[in-house]
Every structure is written in structure tokens, then in C-alpha cells.
Amino acid sequence: MQTKVESPAAQLPQMVDARNPGQPLDLDWVLGAQANLSAIERRCATLPGRRSVKKDHQAAWLLKAITCIDLTTLSGDDTVGRVRRLCAKARQPVRADILDRLGVSGITTGAICVYHEMVPAAVAALDGSGVPVAAVSTGFPAGLSPFHLRVAEIGESVKAGAAEIDIVISRRHVLTGDWQALYDEMREFRAACGDAHVKAILATGELGTLRNVARASLVCMMAGADFIKTSTGKESVNATLPVSLVMLRAIRDYHERTGYRIGYKPAGGISKAKDALVYLSLMKEELGDRWLQPDLFRFGASSLLGDIERQLEHHVTGAYSAGWRHAAG
């Protein structure tokens, strides 16, 4: 079987759209956003069973998923050694013998995602690979440090070589309906990023309602977010299908009204290949094939890659290896 999947770096030049500049805060639009919980739940309940891709198609979709992973380590005990091992995995996400049998070469993960202190090590380890480094920022995960320090943290990570910045929003602005404060904060974070792309982490598990998720999504896009991201991975509820549906529809709405395509990053608790397939099919159904590229879609995941590699090994050998053989990623 020949499954041609190009690396994200190879895909980017012809795929990149104009960057979202943002727009003035439109409160009528924001307050008009609603979320019908029972309709959303009904739609999501049908998703896992509905679209099942098999055999070679499944392998191709799993390879696609790999190119969209922000391979992540966000632990208090991260070391330079761990980050270097993860970067080696980002450069070569699947064992060479498995890729040979799939007829694929040159794939990488979408990015590496680390805390600020690990950015220089990751940048050095990924030199020449085309894999960008994403830094979580702005007092991740709670986002409750002094505002000027949150802004300064972005600048430090950009200076250290991060090409993508994952900021956390102030959940209290959403919970109190202070959309202007959320907009102003996000606008300032975006400005501090300069040319680095900014992903706005909504921490949806802490926003109370799906309607708040829809409104916060719109405000962050209006303030210039390049991506909206569900979670830090540290909330008690992280990425879910209902939240994803609401955020994807906000992205669709924003695209229809402004012409700008905003990326989506579900993050936290996505660790199985079959879950990745459900997310890919949700993207395809809600937003179309254009959103299946790494410049518009990422998984934030620390252990998903290991399960995908295991499934690909099963695809080419017919046997499952032990999970520990695919530990990194």
C-alpha cells in the first residue's frame, strides 16, 4: 500500500490563508450566540458510531492525525532530556519499518508543546526539522498571575524561539459576562505574540455553560486569535465532543461573516486512535477538508501518538505490540 502523507512543513506554503487580524468587538453578535444543549447532545451521540473508516483508509487518517498533533509535555518534572526525546519523536513519529511498509516518508507531528523553560531545548532539538515549538503561556494553566507578567511571558517565549503561543484566558471574564475585558485581554496577548501564532485556551470545563463557550469563542476570534483551543489538560473536564461542536460552529460562523479561517485545537484526555478518528470526521463534517490540515487543526495530546503508532503497527503486521513499546508520545 502506498499512502502519501506530506509533512506539515511541506504542506504549509500553499495552504496558509491570510491571518485573522481580528475586528472590533461586536456585542450583538456575541450575545446572540446560543447553544441548544439537547440538539448538541443528540448530534454528538451519533458521532462515534457513524463514520468508521477501515483498513488502508484508516491508516491514512491516522497518519493525517499524526501530522496534526501538538506533541505535548507539561509536567512539573519536565527535563531537557525528556523534551529532547519528545522532539526526536516529533521528527520521526512512527518507527521507520512501519512507515516503510506503509510506503510513507517524511511525516512529522504538527508541533511540540512545552512550558517556557523548555522552549530553548525544544528549539535546538528541532532545528532544521520544520516542526514549530509551541509554548503555553500567560500563567498557564490558571492564568491568574499579574497581567503585565502574563504579557511579558509571551514576549520571553517568542524571544526564545516559540513560533506558537498557547495563552489561557481569564475564566472570570466569561463567568461574569465581561466580554469587553476578555476582548481587551486577548487583543493584548495577540499583540505581544507578534508574528507568532496565538491559540486561545478557553478552559471550557470551567466556563459553566455551552453558551458561554460559544460566546468566548467568538470574542477571542474577534480579538485576533489564530486558533481556539478547548483546555489546558489540567481542568477536571477537558476536550469533549459537545464543546467541540459548539466551538466548530463558532468558527464556521466567524468564517462565514468575515472570510477568515480560525484553527481548532481540542486538548486534554485525547489518548486513543479511535477518538482521533472521531475528531477528524467531526472536523470534516462541520468545516470541510480545508480544516484537516495542521495549519487549521491540532490535537493537544501527550499520549495519543503512542496509541496511533500501535494501531499502525497492527495494520501492517496484524499483531498488537505492548503499549510500553510506544511510550514516548
Query: Shortest Cβ distance from residue 62 to ligand G3H (Å)?
Result: 17
* Binders in 47-76 for ligand G3H, by CB under 6 A: 72, 74
Nearest distance in Å: CB 70, ligand G3H: 6
Counting Cα atoms < 13 Å in the Cβ hemisphere of 315 gives 28
Q: Is 203 helix (H, G, I), strand (E, B) or coil?
A: coil
Give the integer Cα–Cα distance in Å for 310 and 293: 23
- Between CA 292 and CA 112, with CA 253 as vertex, the angle to 5 degrees is 35
Nearest approach in angstroms of CB 79 to ligand G3H is 17
Residue 138 as a binder of ligand G3H (CB under 6 A): the answer is no
Q: Is the dihedral of CA 69, 71, 74, 75 positive or negative?
A: positive
Rounded alpha-carbon distances, angstroms, from residue 34 to 171, 182, 191, 252, 307: 19, 18, 29, 14, 36
Residue 196, C-alpha cell as written in the block: 507568532
Per the annotation, the verdict on 166 as an active-site residue is yes
Q: Which residue is nearest to ligand G3H (CB)?
A: 233
Of 17-25, 27-35, 95-103, 301-309, the segment contacting ligand G3H by CB under 6 A is 301-309
| AA letter at 228 | I
What are the strands, taking DSSP E only, across 123-217? 133-136, 164-168, 197-201
**Rounded to the nearest whole angstrom, what is the least distance from the CB of residue 3 to ligand G3H in the complex?**
25
| Binding map of ligand G3H across residues 185-224, x = CB under 6 A, - = no contact | ----------------------------------------
Q: Which of residues 238-297 bind ligand G3H (CB under 6 A)?
A: 267-269, 271
Question: By rule CB under 6 A, what count of residues binds ligand G3H?
Answer: 13
Which residues have C-beta within 8 Å of that of residue 38, sequence separation ≥ 6?
none
User: Which residues pair with residue 135 across a beta bridge?
Assistant: 114, 165
For ligand G3H, which is the closer residue by CB, 88 or 237? 237
CB 276 within 8 A of CB 270: yes
Instruction: Give the nearer residue to ligand G3H in terms of CB position, either 93 or 268.
Output: 268
Q: Which of 89, 199, 265, 307 is catalytic?
A: 265
| DSSP letters spanning 146-164 | -HHHHHHHHHHHHHTT-SE
Query: Which of 300, 308, 309, 312 contacts ligand G3H by CB under 6 A?
Result: 300
Pairing of strands 227-229, 133-136: unpaired
**Is residue 301 part of the contact set for ligand G3H (CB under 6 A)?**
yes
The C-alpha cell that represents 123 in the structure block: 528549539
Quick one: which segment of 4-12, 16-24, 104-112, 299-307 binds ligand G3H (CB under 6 A)? Answer: 299-307
d(CA 169, CA 213): 12
Known catalytic residue at 64? no
- Pick from 170, 212, 217, 302 the residue near ligand G3H by CB under 6 A: 302
Closest distance of CB 27 from ligand G3H, Å: 30
Residue 329 found at the interface with ligand G3H (CB under 6 A): no
Among 44, 284, 303, 314, binds ligand G3H (CB under 6 A): 303
| Residue 272 annotated to the active site | no
Sole residue written with cell 495530546: 301
Residues that bind ligand G3H (CB under 6 A): 72, 74, 113, 232-233, 267-269, 271, 300-303
Query: Which residues are catalytic, by number?
Result: 166, 229, 265
